[in-house]
């Protein structure tokens, strides 16, 4: 899945909103909404920088960006909520369950078995929450 080039007059915020919806669907909007009462400025930064500036760049397609994001979050080992959001986003932009499992298994080499295990357990939760997903492991 690729993204469209931004209009020259499109703001960072609008570009970020569009990218966030394309990548994360409703889950992304829920994360942003959950910040409204405690840190609305941070919610805006979350839309503008990662999604308006980085995810909207033309250098990688969204599928490749989600591979990198899933790997990085799994390697961190302390970002399970964000990892689950990005596993779902990976499915949303065309990754299969089997590819996500392979990404997480690869992390055992570079981030250790605990990080890989935690990532796989997070993936299991995401997959179980959407058993209708057609790209089952394979």
Residues 98 and 48 in one domain: no
Q: Are residues 16 and 71 in the same domain?
A: no
List the CATH number of the domain containing 110: 1.20.1290.10
User: Model confidence at 137, in pLDDT bands (50, 70, 90)?
Assistant: very low
- pLDDT digit string, tens, across residues 7-32: 668 899 999 999 999 998 888 888 88
Based on the fold, state whether residues 113 and 138 are members of the same structural domain.
yes
Taking alpha carbons only, the member of 74, 98, 86 closest to residue 126 is 86
Residue 103's pLDDT band (cuts 50, 70, 90): very high
Q: And the tokens for 78?
A: 């302390």
Compute the chain's Rg from CA coordinates: 15
């Amino acid at each position: 899945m690729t993204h469209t080039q931004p209009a020259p007059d499109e703001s960072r915020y609008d570009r970020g909103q569009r990218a966030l919806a394309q990548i994360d669907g409703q889950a992304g909007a829920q994360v942003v909404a959950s910040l409204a009462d405690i840190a609305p400025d941070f919610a805006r930064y979350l839309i503008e920088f990662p999604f308006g500036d980085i995810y909207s760049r033309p250098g990688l397609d969204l599928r490749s960006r989600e591979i990198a994001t899933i790997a990085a979050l799994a390697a961190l080992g302390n970002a399970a909520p964000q990892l689950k959001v990005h596993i779902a986003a990976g499915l949303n932009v065309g990754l299969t369950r089997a590819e996500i499992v392979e990404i997480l298994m690869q992390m055992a080499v570079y981030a250790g078995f605990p990080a890989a295990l935690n990532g796989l357990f997070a993936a299991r939760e995401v997959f179980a929450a959407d058993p209708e997903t057609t790209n089952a492991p394979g």
